[in-house]
Amino acid sequence: MMEASATIVAVASPPGHAPRGIVRLSGRASLELCGLATDLPAGVVRCTLPWSGSAALAVVSRAPRSFTGEDCVELLLPGHPAILDEAVRACIARGARAAEPGEFAARSWLHGKRSIDEAEGIAMAIAATSDAQLRAARRLQQGEAARAVCTLRDEVATLLALVEAGIDFTDQEDVVAIGGRDLADRLDPIVARLRALHAAPVAGAIDRPLPWVVLVGRPNAGKSSLFNALLGHERTVASPEAGTTRDAVPEPLSLGGQEAMLVDAPGIESPRSALDAAMQDQARQAIARAAVVLRCVPPGADHPAIGPDDVLVLTKVDDGGVAPHGAIATSAHRGHGLDALRSELARRLRCKPASESAEGAALLPRHRAAIDASIAELQSAAALARSGGAALPEAELVAPHLRAGLDALGSIGGSVTPDDVIGLVFARFCVGK
């Protein structure tokens, strides 16, 4: 456990020999331990180290404007490890404590100088081994994860306000509560956007991400049936009804000894609603990330233009018909053409080694866990709301799911308190006119 009142000290420069090294102190006694006057203003000063009599430069930062929010001193010393270690030991002998891993950043957070995301971004920057990882760390420190969910969090807060208005203010004639079907229809695109955010690649991921093979085409083109057939088990629901696949569904697939991520994307069509627009956005994101795109075309449909990363796949060819040059005829029902398609994918992926994702989402595992939790709660709320039809008879049961989903998003983008929700009620419905 970190004891926050002690003055802490550590070597702040990279290990090894260098022309200069840094020893950093933070805490109330920082200046005194270095032999500096306690009323010294912020700035760079020459000093004499009290433990050795050697000259040094000291960079002084005063609370609350320092990195940690406390008085800080950075001693610029010759960069020999023995000299730096001697300075740390001398400060400890004079009353300081050796800093624990991450303690300077932790104190910055405790004093309100940094958000938890900014502190974690610092840790990501320290562990970075590439420019892409450094960019991801910088974006995390700049609050990208919070911005990514803030709009969705505010939309959920508005829906919660509408539901609670119908519970608490039904005697007010100016209050128009939300109906069950309307609530569910407004939750669906929020859930779809959260799924898209969760599925985004992690920027600067250290491991090698699997290349994506994305099945695209119009609704009912046979994508989901082909997806399940290539996997060898039923992963998605295949239905003659259009719009069954609402999310980009990824699943690992082994192809000739190499791994790929097979992705069943929503059908490509003109959007007619906010949910349709969210589905199309997921499909576009999946295509943009794909190493290979399988353009699925059912019998009788026009063949689309084929790019260098595309494979034209004729679906539902149950009679084992021959495909035109460059295309592969398949039947998910009978298994025709599946081996040929797997061989073609393996051949193409051997020429496309997986590369580091440089511009994905700056999300941490805890962010993804919070998004997962929010999706589960919002889906539960939508299911309860939809079961009530035009009315919302289960409002008292729907509201806790919305609040839990909102709290999960609040752990990333900032919390929304019950008082904030009540404020939305009064701001929107003229209660007590």
Render 143-156 in DSSP notation, one character per residue: THHHHHHHHHHHHH
Average pLDDT over residues 83-99: 95
Residues 6+ apart with CB under 8 A from 423: none
- Intra-chain end-to-end CA distance of the chain, in Å: 53
Q: How confident is the model at residue 360 (pLDDT cuts 50, 70, 90)?
A: low
> Strand (E) positions, 27-92?
43-48, 55-61, 72-79
Average pLDDT over residues 382-403: 88
Asked if residue 17 lies in contact with residue 28, where contact means CB atoms within 8 angstroms, the answer is no
Q: How confident is the model at residue 433 (pLDDT cuts 50, 70, 90)?
A: very low
Q: Tell me the Cα Rg of the chain.
A: 29
Q: How confident is the model at residue 2 (pLDDT cuts 50, 70, 90)?
A: low
The CATH H-level superfamily of 212-350 is P-loop containing nucleotide triphosphate hydrolases (3.40.50.300)
- Residue with structure tokens 């019998």? 299
Which two tokens mark 369? 């866990």
Q: Quick one: the chain helix, strand, coil %, rounded to 5?
A: 45, 15, 40
More confident residue, 238 or 26: 26
Q: How confident is the model at residue 84 (pLDDT cuts 50, 70, 90)?
A: very high
**Cα separation of 25 and 210, whole Å?**
44
**Cα separation of 160 and 70, whole Å?**
40
Domain ranges across the chain: 8-107, 144-200+361-429, 212-350
Task: Please give the model's pTM, rounded to 2 decimal places.
Answer: 0.51
Residue 197 pLDDT > 70: yes
Which range has the worst mean pLDDT, 14-28, 133-147, 323-337, 339-353?
A: 133-147
Is 248 buried (19+), middle (13-18) or exposed (0-12) by CB count in 10 A? Answer: buried
Residues 6+ apart with CB under 8 A from 420: 157
More confident residue, 360 or 102: 102
- The class (CATH top level) of 8-107 is alpha beta
The CATH architecture to which 144-200+361-429 belongs is: Up-down Bundle (1.20)
Q: For a pLDDT cut of 70, what percent of the chain falls above it?
A: 80
Average pLDDT over residues 364-391: 88
Residues 6+ apart with CB under 8 A from 246: 188, 192, 266, 275, 279
Residue 4 pLDDT > 90: no
- Residue with structure tokens 């008292």? 396
What's the pLDDT at 109? Answer: 83
What's the pLDDT at 3? Answer: 65
Beta bridge partners of 8: 26, 97
| 73: helix, strand or coil | strand
Residue 206 pLDDT > 50: no
Asked if residue 357 lies in contact with residue 388, where contact means CB atoms within 8 angstroms, the answer is no
Average pLDDT over residues 99-103: 86
